[in-house]
Amino acid sequence: MHSANFTDQFLIAMPSLEDPNFFHSVTYVCEHSEDGAMGIVINHPTDLTLESVLEHMGISIEVDASQVPVFNGGPVQPDRGFILHPPERRWTSTMQVSERISVTTSRDILEAMARGSGPESYLIALGYAGWGPGQLEQEIGENAWLTCASDPDILFQQPTEKRWQAAAGRLGVDLSLMTGQAGHA
């Protein structure tokens, strides 16, 4: 039996998923194969900004990067940066996930962003979420996640705190009605 491939999809954490890495999270799946899966959490901002990351890397900044959030992309390799962006340009280390989204891990994209010549839309994350062979399929089977097609508007435009509900809304699901506990507003 051929299993579904979740590349270029959103994983929407069910309200019952209490792992702090994924609580109320939306994860963009960059890669999914028989060897496992890799994704970036897109709605857990850190205290860091693009400005602080560029300063840490010794990249001179010509634009205001003080309000650009950096997200906690997941618990694996939290010191490694990932930039999700439309695939209008290729950088030194870019993997095109779909016709709408690429992921880049190389320094050159950050240098371009610091000059104001990087991608127009992007999301910066440190770390990623990883699943071993069959693990993601098992978790989906156990109803830990809802899945839906990704949406660049949710990824790049939607306010962070609305991404979880917005992604579920693509499925016609109201997550506030699915909680296992009463009394939440």
Task: Please check whether residue 34 is in contact with residue 133, taking contact to mean a CB–CB distance below 8 angstroms.
Answer: yes
Q: Would you list the domain boundaries of the chain?
A: 9-177
Q: Which two tokens stand for residue 40?
A: 């970036």
Residue identified by tokens 């340009």 is 89
pLDDT band at 180 (very low <50, low <70, confident <90, very high): low
Spatial distance between the Cα atoms of 9 and 171, rounded to a whole number of angstroms? 12
Task: Please check whether residue 5 is in contact with residue 34, taking contact to mean a CB–CB distance below 8 angstroms.
Answer: no
Q: Does residue 118 register a pLDDT over 60?
A: yes
Task: Please check whether residue 49 is in contact with residue 70, taking contact to mean a CB–CB distance below 8 angstroms.
Answer: yes
Q: Which two tokens stand for residue 92?
A: 């030194």
Q: Does residue 182 register a pLDDT over 70?
A: no
Mean pLDDT, range 70-94, rounded to an integer: 95
Q: Does residue 104 register a pLDDT over 90?
A: yes
Q: By percentage, how much of the chain surpasses pLDDT 90?
A: 87
Mean pLDDT, range 41-46, rounded to an integer: 97
H or E element in which residue 148 lies: strand 145-149
Mean pLDDT of the chain: 92
CATH topology of domain 9-177: VC0467-like (3.40.1740)
| Phi-psi domain of 127 (left: phi exceeds 0; alpha: psi -120 through 50; beta: other) | left
Task: Please check whether residue 101 is in contact with residue 28, taking contact to mean a CB–CB distance below 8 angstroms.
Answer: yes
